[in-house]
Amino acid sequence: MPLNQPVLTKRIPTPPWGDPRDRKTVSYEQFVATGGYVGLKKALAMEPKAVIDLIKASELRGRGGAGFPAGMKWSFLPPEDGKPRYLAVNADESEPGTFKDRMLIDFDPHLLLEGIAICMHACRLDVAYIYIRGEYHQQAVTLNNAVKEAYANGIFGENSILGRIADRWPQCHVHRGAGAYICGEETGLLESLEGKRGWPRIKPPFPAVAGAFGRPTIINNVETLAMCGPILDFGVDWFKSMGKGRGENVPPSVPASFGPKLIGVSGHINRPGVYEENLGVSVKTMIEDYCGGMWKGKKFKAAVPGGISMGVLGTAEYEAELDFDIGKKYSCLGLGTAGVIVMDEDTNMVSVARNIARFFAHESCGQCTPCREGSGWIYQLLCRIEAGDGTTRDLDLLLELAGSMGAMPGTTICGLADGTNWAVRTIVNKFWDDFEKVCKKSNTISLPVVG
């Protein structure tokens, strides 16, 4: 069943409810006139802990990539000690194929600010930093204007409706990055916020215990926070009536995929853009019902489900459901950001792999050898294969190299290398013929690889 009303896109004209050409930035007045900040008022009438419990009960999962339950994250904070505690809003959005947070910031920035205020109240955080990627010049201006409006209307600053938090008036600031994908990784973001290079930290300690400036810090994605206002306003049952939910006889301890999701679709389709649908909608529905079908009437070949770190879906996986279980079901890394990249029958998957490997080689921060050296090596191998100079042995090497890197195999500090790993392995495995076709048979016999 399609979503029966727009939630995050309530004020952002989006098909089937509106025309993207009518999109305009919603001001504070317009936001309030259309039911904005009601969720915040309801939150303020509740004890902070009750707000956390409510978000927990809604089973809202992070929209920034990992799908970690937001309410659970919020409950990891240590007890208050009167010293500063921070909220770092992740607006670094740099994963190829992902452009959803930008839409929220461009057109409905107060929806994000409402979520920020709710989180600050619930978690007792007195300063929020919105870490926005440096390339989002215009968006930083829009956001700064909205923050100014929010201060002027008593959301933040002196006499804020949040009241004093740890005896200080709550503050919200926009902090611009300067062009580094790795600053989207939560601890890379914190390092960058502290004025250093964006080198991810070894965990533990986790940010909830020792984050920005060594103090307890919550890090959430823009879309995750934007979802909080509507949940507070319309309730847990309303939120859980949307999305995939839990199958029958599945115990409540198994995480499910409730709620609506922004899905950005790009690549070989007729109407690329950001749409809103229930979690669990299929790739096929997105392409055919929302995106006007495949570009130039070509056939579907492959799709990235949620940003290139997640790997690819094969030609036979056209009907894959976009929910948090997609990884297990279709052997990819996960839903990621739900930034779907569609590729048609003429696409050369060797070139796709080469492009993606270059991204990771370029964006590796360089701390961990498997990621720094491995990604560059993989990129060179793929360039060679693309040029027609590869051998089938190179393909084995490619898979071995890719499979060895990442935080999941335990060889690197952060998840960037897992992205390299999954992207390369799934493309090569699912489109083996594309690669084998352009590779010569190896004329040396390789020793069997042990382990």
Residues in contact with ligand FMN by the rule CB under 6 A = 62-66, 68, 90, 92-95, 182, 184-186, 219-221, 224, 414-416
Q: How far is the CB of 90 from ligand FMN (least distance, A)?
A: 4
Question: Which C-beta is closer to another protein: that of 230 or that of 339?
Answer: 339
Binding span for another protein by CB under 8 A among 64-72, 223-231, 236-244, 354-362: 354-362
Query: The tokens of 135 are what?
Result: 């390339």
Q: How far is the CB of 417 from ligand SF4 (least distance, A)?
A: 4
Kindly tell me which residue out of 9, 160, 171, 217 binds another protein, with binding defined by CB under 8 A.
171
Question: Which C-beta is closer to ligand SF4: that of 180 or that of 283?
Answer: 180
End-to-end CA distance of the chain: 46
Place of tokens 């670094």: 92
Question: What is d(CA 358, CA 360) in angstroms, rounded to the nearest whole number?
Answer: 5
Q: How far is the CB of 67 from ligand FMN (least distance, A)?
A: 7
Q: Which residues are CB-neighbours of 405 under 8 A, at least 6 positions away? A: 370, 371, 374, 375, 411, 412, 417, 418, 420, 421
Q: What is the identity of the amino acid at 192? A: S
Kindly tell me which residue out of 58, 98, 221, 412 binds another protein, with binding defined by CB under 8 A.
98
* Partner interacting with residue 97 (select from ligand FMN, another protein, ligand SF4, none; CB below 5-8 Å by kind): another protein
Q: Which residues are CB-neighbours of 179 under 8 A, at least 6 positions away? A: 133, 134, 135
Site map (CB under 6 A) of ligand SF4, residues 379-418, x = contact: ---------------------------------xxx-xx-
Q: Is residue 364 at the binding interface for another protein, with CB under 8 A as the rule?
A: yes
Contacts of ligand SF4 in 343-382 (CB under 6 A): 364-368, 371-372
The residue of the chain with the least Cβ separation from ligand SF4 equals 371
Count of residues that bind another protein according to CB under 8 A: 61
Q: How far is the CB of 412 from ligand FMN (least distance, A)?
A: 10
* Whether the bond into 204 is cis, omega within 30 of 0: yes
Q: How far is the CB of 336 from ligand FMN (least distance, A)?
A: 9
Q: Where are the alpha helices (DSSP H) in 278-415?
A: 283-285, 326-330, 349-363, 369-386, 392-403
Task: Report helix, strand or coil for 196.
Answer: coil
Q: Tell me which residue of 306, 318, 337, 263 sits closest to 423, measured CA to CA.
A: 306
CB 192, CB 71: distance < 8 Å = no
CB 260, CB 279: distance < 8 Å = yes
* Partner interacting with residue 230 (select from ligand SF4, another protein, ligand FMN, none; CB below 5-8 Å by kind): none
CB 102, CB 147: distance < 8 Å = no
Other CB atoms within 10 A of residue 314 CB: 18
Question: Which C-beta is closer to ligand FMN: that of 208 or that of 398?
Answer: 208
Q: How far is the CB of 359 from ligand FMN (least distance, A)?
A: 11
* Partner interacting with residue 306 (select from ligand SF4, ligand FMN, another protein, none; CB below 5-8 Å by kind): none
Q: Is residue 300 at the binding interface for another protein, with CB under 8 A as the rule?
A: no
Query: The tokens of 265 are what?
Result: 């679709």
Task: Report helix, strand or coil for 86.
Answer: strand
Kindly tell me which residue out of 266, 309, 420, 426 binds another protein, with binding defined by CB under 8 A.
266
* Partner interacting with residue 66 (select from ligand FMN, another protein, ligand SF4, none; CB below 5-8 Å by kind): ligand FMN
CB 28, CB 150: distance < 8 Å = yes
Question: Which C-beta is closer to ligand FMN: that of 160 or that of 337?
Answer: 337
Task: Report helix, strand or coil for 8.
Answer: coil
* Partner interacting with residue 184 (select from ligand SF4, ligand FMN, another protein, none; CB below 5-8 Å by kind): ligand FMN
Contacts of ligand SF4 in 174-213 (CB under 6 A): 182, 200
Question: Which C-beta is closer to another protein: that of 265 or that of 313?
Answer: 265
Query: The tokens of 204 are what?
Result: 């533990």
CB 70, CB 44: distance < 8 Å = no
Cα–Cα distances in angstroms (integers) from residue 328 to residues 95, 285, 322, in the given order: 21, 21, 12
Other CB atoms within 10 A of residue 255 CB: 16
Binding residues for another protein, rule: CB under 8 A, are 84, 93-99, 102, 133-138, 171, 173, 175-182, 192-198, 213, 264-268, 272-274, 304, 308, 339, 341, 343, 347, 351-352, 355-356, 358-359, 361-367, 372
Binding residues for ligand SF4, rule: CB under 6 A, are 182, 200, 364-368, 371-372, 412-414, 416-417
